């Protein structure tokens, strides 16, 4: 049996929500103070990721890097997880609104394994990366989120269905 497919998880826009016209309230949100900064946390993201951990090998793919394991296991019940390291001073520097700066480290980490990636800031370079991996026979799924909503149930179901379609070796 092959390894489980990877699930690369961003934090901002997936678990920690932003971009609201008005600050959300209600049972689906919780406020956390992290390193002195208030964050709106999706209450459902943790249980949804926990469910996905039975099918995927979860890994943090976030600018938070090691800080994700410092804070998120307590907040979400997920982790600690492996962390994909990003060199923000590298040849493709970080740019707001785009996940392209994550591509080379994601590719190196995944190698030829199947990977799904949850993020709120895909751009054309991310779509091209996914198409290229697919053309090489490496199943790749991009799962876009809305930063003010985060990880939704329909996306979890889509990822579960995707794993079922890529082959019995991943179940």
End-to-end Cα separation, the chain, in angstroms: 9
Q: Taking the domain 6-170, which CATH number applies? A: 3.40.50
Extents of the domains making up the chain: 6-170
The predicted-structure confidence for 31-62, as pLDDT tens digits, reads as follows: 999 999 999 999 999 999 999 999 999 999 99
Query: CA–CA distance from 20 to each of 16, 86, 89, 148, 168 (Å)?
Result: 12, 27, 30, 6, 41
Spatial contact of 142 and 126, defined as CB atoms under 8 Å apart = yes
Spatial contact of 82 and 9, defined as CB atoms under 8 Å apart = no
- Per-residue pLDDT, 94: 47
Tokens, residue 93: 């520097």
Q: Taking residues 1-15, what's their average pLDDT?
A: 88
Query: CA–CA distance from 70 to each of 12, 65, 76, 129, 146 (Å)?
Result: 15, 10, 12, 30, 25
Residues whose CB falls within 8 Å of the CB of residue 31, separated by 6 or more in sequence, listed in order: 38, 39, 40, 41
pLDDT(23) > 50: yes
- Per-residue pLDDT, 169: 52
* Virtual torsion, Cα 157, 160, 165, 168, nearest 10 deg: -160
Nearest partner of 86 among 70, 67, 69, 64, judged by Cα: 64
User: Whole-angstrom Cα distance, residue 7 to residue 129?
Assistant: 16
User: Whole-angstrom Cα distance, residue 138 to residue 146?
Assistant: 26
2 secondary structure, DSSP code: P
| pTM assigned to the model | 0.89
pLDDT(15) > 60: yes
């Amino acid at each position: 049996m092959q390894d489980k497919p990877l699930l690369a998880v961003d934090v901002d826009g997936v678990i920690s929500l932003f971009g609201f016209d008005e600050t959300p309230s209600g049972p689906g949100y919780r406020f956390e103070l992290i390193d002195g900064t208030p964050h709106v946390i999706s209450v459902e993201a943790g249980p949804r990721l926990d469910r996905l951990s039975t099918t995927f090998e979860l890994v943090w793919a976030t600018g938070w890097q090691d800080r994700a394991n410092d804070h998120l296991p307590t907040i979400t019940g997920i982790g600690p997880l492996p962390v994909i390291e990003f060199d923000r001073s590298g040849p493709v520097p970080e740019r707001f609104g785009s996940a392209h700066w994550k591509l080379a480290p994601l590719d190196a980490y995944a190698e030829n394994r199947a990977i799904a990636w949850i993020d709120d800031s895909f751009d054309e370079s991310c779509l091209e990366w996914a198409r290229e991996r697919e053309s090489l026979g490496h199943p790749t799924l991009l799962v876009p989120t809305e930063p003010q909503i985060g990880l939704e149930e329909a996306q979890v179901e889509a990822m579960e269905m995707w794993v079922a379609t890529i082959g019995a070796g991943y179940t």
